[in-house]
């Protein structure tokens, strides 16, 4: 009973901090296997895991798979633990090299929002936006090319931190029709470099911080490279609603309000 209390206390703490988190539950097991129905494990994106899935290769594989694939939808699947040459009782499932002789069905459940906001630039404004978005049930990812900018950011601000030189954004952003992206790096050159990469990809919202003068200059540069007016109309720059914001958190309010307004159009 005390173990259950500790497990769910940790679960509540991690969710309260808006950490990127998955829960893996053993749904059923057949034959000889250390994994038993009801076993659970909490897997954060990095760091310590909590709970128990029976140990061994299956547990190690599930931890690695969740962190590498980072599924945003629930998964139900069966693993076969009978790589010993004998005919298994169950034949449908993912074969592992374990020789227990049984099979295990697991449920992988993401415990975070499906609204993912990618913030490129972990300066004052980027961190403020990540913090505010997390409070509004967004999953956030901070991406920066400066190791020092990503150091000492507490989990309650953002737990999903990525170091990138901005040339490999495909490795850090899941570009699709639901992707929400805000560009706010430490310099105009980087902003333009990142923006051009994003323009060639699918997204739901793409914003870039900057003045009207910067926007006009950037758009002209992109037109000179062959981008059409229609493509540039999809960029929110200057990003955010015009509320006269000045401080990092005021700027974050204006940006997040614009994103929420944009997403609300899907419900009309």
- Residue 264 burial (C-beta neighbours within 10 Å; 0-12, 13-18, 19+): exposed
pLDDT in tens, 28-83: 988 777 889 999 999 998 889 999 998 888 899 999 999 988 888 899 999 887 65
Question: Which residues lie below 8 Å from residue 104, measured CB to CB, with a gap of 6+?
Answer: 26, 28, 29, 30, 33, 35, 54, 58, 78, 79, 81
Q: Which of 110, 137, 160 is the last residue of a domain?
A: 110
Residues 101 and 155 in one domain: no
Residues 138 and 64 in one domain: no
Residues 105 and 9 in one domain: yes
Interval 227-251 mean pLDDT: 91
Residues 105 and 120 in one domain: no
Q: What is the DSSP letter of 237?
A: S
Cis check for the bond before 132: say yes or no (omega within 30 of 0).
Answer: no
pLDDT of 88 > 50? The answer is no
Q: Is the dihedral of CA 172, 178, 182, 183 positive or negative?
A: positive
pLDDT in tens, 93-103: 566 655 556 78
Q: What pLDDT is stored for residue 178 in this prediction?
A: 86
pTM: 0.67
Structure tokens at 169: 């954004």
* Rg of the chain, C-alpha, whole Å: 22
| Lowest model confidence (mean pLDDT) among 17-21, 114-118, 133-137, 208-212 | 17-21
Interval 134-162 mean pLDDT: 92
Rounded CA separation 242/170 (Å): 31
Residues 169 and 207 in one domain: yes
Q: How confident is the model at residue 85 (pLDDT cuts 50, 70, 90)?
A: very low
Residues 132 and 232 in one domain: yes
Q: How confident is the model at residue 214 (pLDDT cuts 50, 70, 90)?
A: confident
Residues 120 and 252 in one domain: yes
Rounded CA separation 3/124 (Å): 40
The total number of structural domains that make up the chain: 2
Q: Which of 110, 145, 174 is the last residue of a domain?
A: 110
Residues 133 and 225 in one domain: yes
Q: What pLDDT is stored for residue 155 in this prediction?
A: 85
What's the CATH code of the domain at 219?
3.40.50.720
Give the range of the structural domain holding residue 215, as residue numbers without chain letter: 116-267
Interval 2-24 mean pLDDT: 85
What is the percent of the chain with per-residue pLDDT over 90, rounded to a whole number?
A: 51
Q: Which of 110, 139, 154 is the last residue of a domain?
A: 110
Residues 69 and 196 in one domain: no
Residues 156 and 100 in one domain: no
- Please work out, in degrees rounded to the nearest 5, the angle formed at the alpha carbon of residue 48 by the alpha carbons of 46 and 49: 100
Residues 153 and 250 in one domain: yes
Residues 76 and 123 in one domain: no
* Residue-averaged pLDDT of the chain: 87
pLDDT in tens, 114-140: 788 999 999 999 999 999 999 998 989
Query: What's the order of all strands across the beta sheet hosting 116-120?
Result: 161-163, 139-144, 116-120, 180-183, 205-208, 235-236
């Amino acid at each position: 009973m005390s173990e259950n209390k500790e497990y769910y206390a940790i679960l509540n703490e991690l969710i309260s901090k808006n950490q990127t988190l998955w829960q893996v539950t053993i749904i059923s097991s057949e034959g000889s296997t250390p994994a038993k129905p009801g076993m659970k494990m909490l897997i954060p994106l990095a760091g310590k895991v909590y709970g128990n899935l029976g140990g061994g290769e299956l547990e190690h594989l599930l931890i690695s798979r969740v962190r590498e694939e980072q599924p945003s939808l629930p998964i139900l699947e069966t693993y076969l633990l009978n790589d010993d040459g004998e005919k298994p009782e169950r034949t449908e499932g993912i074969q592992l090299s374990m020789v227990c002789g049984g099979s295990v069905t697991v449920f992988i459940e993401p415990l975070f929002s499906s609204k993912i906001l990618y913030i490129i630039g972990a300066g004052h404004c980027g961190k403020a936006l990540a913090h505010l978005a997390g409070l509004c049930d967004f999953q956030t990812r901070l991406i920066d090319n400066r190791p020092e900018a990503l150091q000492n950011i507490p989990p309650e601000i953002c737990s999903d931190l990525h170091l990138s030189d901005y040339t490999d954004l495909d490795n850090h952003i899941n570009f699709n029709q639901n992707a929400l992206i805000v560009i706010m790096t430490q310099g105009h050159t980087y902003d333009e470099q990142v923006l051009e990469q994003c323009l060639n990809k699918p997204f739901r919202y793409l914003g870039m911080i900057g003045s009207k003068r910067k926007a006009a200059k950037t758009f002209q540069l992109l037109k000179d490279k062959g981008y059409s007016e229609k493509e540039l109309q999809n960029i929110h720059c200057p990003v955010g609603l015009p509320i006269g914001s000045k401080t990092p958190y005021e700027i974050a309010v204006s940006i997040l309000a614009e994103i929420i307004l944009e997403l609300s159009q899907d419900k009309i």
